[in-house]
Structure formats: structure tokens, C-alpha cells
Amino acid sequence: MDAISVIRTKRDRGTLTPEQIDWVIDAYTRGEVADEQMSALAMAVLLNGMSRAEIARWTGAMIASGERMDFSSLARPTADKHSTGGVGDKITLPLAPLVAACGAAVPQLSGRGLGHTGGTLDKLEAIPGWRATLTNPELLGILDDVGAVICAAGDGLAPADKKLYALRDVTGTVESIPLIASSIMSKKIAEGTGSLVLDVKVGSGAFMKNLDDARELAATMVELGNDHGVRTTALLTGMATPLGRTAGNALEVRESVEVLAGGGPADVVELTLALAREMLTAAGLPDADPEKALADGTAMDHWRRMITAQGGDPDAPLPEARERQVVTAPSSGTLTRLDAYAVGLAAWRLGAGRARKEDPVQAGAGVELHARPGDRVVAGQPLLTLHTDTPEKFPYAEAALADATEIATGAVDFEAPPIVLERVG
């Protein structure tokens, strides 16, 4: 086998053989296939796609590149959730302790920012002392004690995906359905969770821009999960507008704590509860009441214990950006559109995301939203506040937001689209 022949096969719209797939994943993991060669193959996959058989074999090869975890020693049933990525999508932060408060164990292996979407680990690292890297015994210990853990996948878990995930972020190949599906499911299957709920985002701020592509991705992942013995379902959820009122790292942590305290934006609360109910049902706990656990403080208690168990201080002040700039409404009327992609791009340009896989992120950078579609606004009032430590980035963020909003004058019959669009599986 050689990398060039594998690249040419997919470049010329051919079907990769099982042997080619097994070899290229193994060779890339070992360093025999270079990053630039895997970049070319990833681009060929993005442009020409993969069959279901190819995706299944690719996923299996990614799983086989490392170890598989085992949570059978836990007294609780395990349930996990994965989002395909959105803008302002901080749902994992309140969701994991909430589901744990209802009796399930949540081994939430999460990632870093990918393109214009935020990363759960980047957000949590804004909490002083919190650490993303845990040993397997530490992970099991926290799960047994607290019931929830959010951490990075260990080096031994699907190492092929760890390399490819970072490469896709900086080579324009994030949006490939086969690569998204195999990336997500290789980690989740190897992780060893008993059940999995997928939050597949749809809209301008998501990698899946339309419902048909989102359905295809969801169906592919649900099939992969169930074929490997993981009870898997998916919710298709809207991402035309950012979730909540913040996009950034520390900004989103602060908003997540508000949700756990019984407040927070209505859309974040609604989606958190919808996913919690889906996870609890998949885990065999359909009678648990996540709304009660959110209201009575038990979810907050689990959050504090989870953060503390991973070295964080839940009472420490969160970082704030040194510089702020306000974007105002250009006219009066009803805000009818606030584009999620534009907000995510602005947050990324302000320093909340990374341009290269080795780049750091700014904990305090991001965008704060003061109005949402359906709100009445007055010319000159604040629409957005931009946060960054590097004020020279303000013009680039403002450029990203140039066409992000629409304001209608006169009477407007505005109805916000639903958060949950469909269920798959």
C-alpha cells in the first residue's frame, strides 16, 4: 500500500477497499502517512463522499487504532451526548451534571473548538484550575462519585481521530459528512457508553446548513452506533441563530452557571431539558425529572462537585477580556435575523477560536448578544458587545458582522422557529 494510490482512488471517485482504509488509518496513526497526504485524502473524501460501507470500515479502523473503555463496574447506567457543533452551544456544561443528578453516569469526552464553532474544553479551561486531561482511573473515580465528568479523550482512545480532527480544522475539511460521522462515532463507541444522544445542528451556524444533510448525518451516525451496540438516537436542532446570549469561552461558562442556578436564556434551558429527557430515556430512566433537578439545586450541586473533582474552583472569578466594543442597531424596528455563522466567525476572529491547531485561545474573548430575533430595537441601542484582549482584531470581527442582522420596520408577524426540529432513531 502507499498513500498516493489511496488518494488517487478517492480523487477519481473510486471506492476505497477495506484493506486501503485499514492501512491508511493505521499508517497515518503511526506517522508513515504525512499530514499533507492525509489532508489531500480528506479533501477528496469531502468532495466525492463515501459509501455507507466505506464509512463503517473507516469508523472501525479509527476505533481499532486505540483502546476501548469499559464502564461495566459502575452502578449507574451510562449516557452520553454529542453535538455536531454550533455557535453559543454551551449545552454540555449544564447538561452533564443535570443528567447525573437524575441518576445516570455521564462520561462526556469532549473536544476543542473546530472552525467557527466553540469547543467545550476551551470553555471549561476558562475556570481557574480546571483540567481537561484525566487518567482512566481518575475518570472512573469521578464518574463513580459525582456521576458526571467532562474531559478530553485520552491519547489511547481513537488516536487516529485525534490527529485527523485537528488536521480537518485547519484544512477546510470539517464539513464532510463521512469524516464528521466517523470522527464522532469512533470516539463515542470506543468510549464505552451504553447509550448516546446526538444533537445534530442545522442552519447557518452549523456544519450542516440544510435539513436533508443533517438527516443524512444523523441517520449515518445512529446506524453506526446501533450497529456497535450503543443505543443511539439523534435530535435535529436549529442553529440559524446563536444559542443563548453569548458566544465565547468564559462568557458561555457564566451563562451555563445561570442556567444551573434556575435562570439563563429560555432556548438554552429548553434544549438542555430536551436532551436530558432523551438521554435519561435511552439510559433506562424515563421517569426521572430533569426539570425538578434543575429547579431544586441538585444539578448545581453536581456541577460544583464535578468542577472541583477536576481541579477547578467553581467560586473563582472567570476571566474577562481587557477590551470591549459595542455594535449598535443601525435603525429602529424588529430584529428578524441574527446570523449564527457571522457571530461565530466574529468570536473566532476576536480570539475565542484558533486558526491553527497549535494556537491558544483567549478565555475572555467572544460576542455578547443584547437582542434576539423577534425583539424590538431602537436605532443606536447596543445589539452586540465584542470582547477581546487584542483590540486590533475589532475591525475584522465587525467585518464578519456586516450583514449579520436584518431589522424590519413597520408591523412584523415574527414567529421564532422551534429549537428541536426532528428526532431520528
DSSP notation for 323-347:
EEEEEE-SSSEEEEEE-HHHHHHHH
Cell of 406: 436584518
Q: What's the pLDDT at 250?
A: 98
**Spatial separation of the C-alpha atoms in residues 226 and 193, rounded to whole Å:** 12
- Quickly list DSSP for 73-141: T-SSPBEEEEE---SS--THHHHHHHHHHTT-BEEEEE---BTTB--HHHHHTTSTT--S---HHHHHH
Q: Count the helices and strands in the chain (H runs, E runs).
A: 16, 13
**Spatial separation of the C-alpha atoms in residues 410 and 8, rounded to whole Å:** 57
Q: What is the pTM of this model?
A: 0.90
**323-408 placed in CATH 3.90.1170.30:** yes
Residues 141-157 have pLDDT tens digits of 999 999 999 999 887 88
Active site positions, annotated: 82, 161, 168, 183, 187
Of 3.40.1030.10, 3.30.1330.10, 2.40.50.140, 3.40.50.620, the CATH number of 79-309 is 3.40.1030.10
The 3-class secondary structure across the chain, one letter per residue, is CCHHHHHHHHHCCCCCCHHHHHHHHHHHHHCCCCHHHHHHHHHHHHHHCCCHHHHHHHHHHHHHCCCCCCCCCCCCCEEEEEECCCCCCCCHHHHHHHHHHCCCEEEEEECCCECCECCHHHHHCCCCCCCCCCCHHHHHHHHHHCCEEEEECCCCCCHHHHHHHHHHHCCCCCCCHHHHHHHHHHHHHHHCCCEEEEEEEECCCCCCCCHHHHHHHHHHHHHHHHHCCCEEEEEEEECCCCCCCEEECHHHHHHHHHHHCCCCCHHHHHHHHHHHHHHHHHCCCCCCCHHHHHHCCHHHHHHHHHHHHCCCCCCCCCCCCCEEEEEECCCCEEEEEECHHHHHHHHHHHHHCCCCCCCCCCCCCEEEECCCCCCEECCCCEEEEEEECCHHHHHHHHHHCCCCEEEECCCCCCCCCCCEEEEEC
**Domain spans of the chain?**
3-49, 79-309, 323-408
Cell of 104: 445516570
Topology alike, domains 79-309 and 323-408: no
Give 10-residue mean pLDDT values along the chain (425 residues): 96 98 97 96 97 95 93 95 94 98 95 81 97 94 97 87 86 89 93 95 93 94 93 97 97 98 97 98 97 97 98 98 98 96 97 81 97 96 98 98 94 89 95
**Spatial separation of the C-alpha atoms in residues 120 and 303, rounded to whole Å:** 15
**Spatial separation of the C-alpha atoms in residues 183 and 328, rounded to whole Å:** 40
Q: Which residues of 135-166 are buried (b: 16+ CB within 10 A; e: fewer)?
A: eeeebbebbeebbbbbbbbbeebbbbbbbbbb
